[in-house]
Amino acid sequence: MFYYILANSSRIIDGLVRHLYIIAASLPISVTIGVAAGILISRNKRAERIVIGIANILMTIPSLALFGFAIIIMSPLGMGIGVPPAIFALVIYSFLPITRNTVLALHAVPSSTIEAARGMGMTPRQILRRIQLPLAIPLLMAGIRNACVMGVSVTTIAYLVGAGGMGHFIFAGMTRTRLDMVLAGAVIVAVLGIATNYLLVMLERAVTPRGLMLEQNKE
């Protein structure tokens, strides 16, 4: 395996770059849509129930199937194969859990805290920006982290729709029974997943307000 990695380092780096590119291109989109949608629907009980219901259902769709749907939808636009359907599928797959977490995070703010803010004469906007969003950070970041980790996994499968990435080494390796190639792909993807998770946990800690961290540690 090490031999394979050394001998093919430039191809592996290309694959990694492509892999990360797909994640990096879709994530800002899904975070923006996800958080915005979460804030919007958190104000309406019915919209919330519907969207979260849909999110829960969409999350059960196998990622492989989602790529299939992405191809179907994107084909008429002439973007049926390669990176665009991969990004499309990834956005769909990750923005709903982010939305769901945003809603949950906003609701997790104790009603007494909001009441105090209202009682002091904060406008709804001020309450959102100064109180609700900062307090929502841990759950929000957890949602984003899950979306990223899932992104690493889903992007591996995006190879099957011609998007390239690290999936190439696993899938092509299997068909060619190149075992060292499969192993190299699998190990790198596994490390990538764990590293992504770890880095985002660190980021989460860095952006969580100190007072909240103390509160969580206490529990």
Partner 1 sequence: MGIFSFMIQNPERVMEKLYEHIIIFALSWVTAVIIGLAVSIIISRPWVKTRVSDAVISITSASQSIPSIAVIAVVFLFTGIGMLPAVIALFLYSLVPIIFNAASAFRTIDPALKEAGKGMGMSNSQILWKMEVPVILPQLFSGVRTAATINIGTTTIASAVGAGGLGDLIFIGLRFINTSQIFAGAFPAAVLAIIVDVLLSRAEKRITSNGILMDIEKHSQAV
Partner 2 sequence: MAIELINAEKTYGDIYAVKDLTMTIPDNQITILIGPSGCGKTTTMKMINGLIPKTNGDIKINGTSIDEWNPIQLRRNIGYIIQEIGLFPHYTIFDNIATVPRLLHWEEKKIRQRVLELMDLVNLDPDEFLQKYPSQLSGGQRQRVGVARGLAADPDIVLMDEPFGAIDPINREKIQDSFLEIQKEIQKTIVFVTHDIHEAIKLGDSIAILDEGSLVQFDSAYNVVNNPATPLVEDLLGSDRAFKGLALLRVKDHMTKTFTTLTKSVSPADALQTMKQHDTKFAFLVDGRNNKLLGVVTAKDIKKRRADSLDKLSKQSEYIQPYATLLESLTKLFSSGFTALPVIDDKNVLVGVIHMQTILDQIEEMSILETAEDEA
Does position 190 bind partner 1 by CB under 8 A? yes
Q: Quick one: 49 or 130, whose CB is closer to partner 2?
A: 130
Alpha carbon distance 49, 35 (integer Å) = 16
Between residue 60 and residue 79, which ones bind partner 1 under the rule CB under 8 A? 60-69, 71-72, 75
Of all residues in the chain, what percent are helix, strand and coil, respectively (each to 5)?
Answer: 85, 0, 15
Does position 54 bind partner 1 by CB under 8 A? no
Q: How far is CA 204 from CA 132, 143, 176, 181, 208, in A?
A: 17, 11, 41, 34, 6
Mask for 108-147, x = binds partner 1 (CB under 8 A): x-x-------------------------------------
Q: Write out the residues near partner 1 by the rule CB under 8 A.
A: 57, 59-69, 71-72, 75, 80, 108, 110, 149, 152-153, 156-157, 160-161, 167, 170-171, 173-174, 179, 182-183, 185-187, 189-190, 193-194, 196-198
